[in-house]
C-alpha cells in the first residue's frame, strides 16, 4: 500500500479512494483524506479530543455516517481533525477517539468547504486478503 488515500476528479463534487490493511485503518484513512481535502493538516497539533460513535446498516452506510459525523464536529466545534483511533468497528457500528486542534484562521489554511459525504458510488471492499478499499464522494 503506497498511499493511504487518493483524490478522485468529478464534475460537480470531489471524490476520495482510501486504502487500509484493516477496516479500522481504512475508516481512519478515509477520515484523514476527507480532512486533507478541507485544509492543510501539517500545522494541526493537539488540544481537542472527542469520542465518536455511529451506527449504519452496512459498511457503506457506516462509512458515510462516520464521515458526516466528523463533518458535523468540524462545523459545530470548529476543529480540524487529523488523528482517528478506531476503537471498535463492526458491520453496524463504529466507536472512535478523534483528535485535532481548534480552528485558527491565522495558522490553518483551508482549501474548500466540504458540505457532506454522499452515497453516490460509495463502496467498501476487500480487494485482496488484508487490503481494503473505500470510495466516497463529497458535496462541495
Q: What does the pLDDT average to over 5-20? A: 83
What is the per-residue pLDDT for 115?
94
The three cell numbers locating residue 122: 460509495
pTM over 0.85: yes
User: Domains of the chain by range and CATH?
Assistant: 5-139 (3.55.10.10)
What is the per-residue pLDDT for 1?
65
How far, CA to CA in Å, does 96 sit from each of 35, 43, 70, 123? Answer: 16, 22, 11, 21
What is the per-residue pLDDT for 4?
85
Please check the confidence at residue 126 and state whether its pLDDT lies above 70. Answer: yes
Strands (DSSP E) found in the chain: 5-9, 14-20, 48-55, 79-89, 93-102, 116-117, 123-128, 131-139
Amino acid at each position: 500500500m503506497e498511499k493511504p488515500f487518493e483524490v478522485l476528479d468529478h464534475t460537480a463534487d470531489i471524490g476520495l479512494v482510501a486504502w487500509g490493511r484493516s477496516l479500522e485503518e481504512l475508516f481512519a484513512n478515509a477520515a484523514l483524506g476527507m480532512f486533507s481535502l478541507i485544509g492543510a493538516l501539517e500545522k494541526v497539533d493537539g488540544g481537542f479530543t472527542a469520542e465518536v460513535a455511529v451506527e449504519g446498516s452496512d459498511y457503506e452506510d457506516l462509512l458515510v455516517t462516520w464521515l458526516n459525523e466528523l463533518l458535523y464536529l468540524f462545523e459545530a466545534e470548529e476543529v480540524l481533525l487529523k488523528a482517528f483511533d478506531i476503537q471498535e468497528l463492526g458491520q453496524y457500528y463504529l466507536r472512535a477517539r478523534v483528535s485535532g486542534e481548534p480552528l485558527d484562521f491565522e495558522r490553518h489554511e483551508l482549501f474548500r468547504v466540504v458540505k457532506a459525504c454522499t452515497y453516490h458510488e460509495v463502496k467498501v471492499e476487500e480487494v485482496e486478503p488484508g487490503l481494503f478499499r473505500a470510495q466516497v464522494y463529497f458535496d462541495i
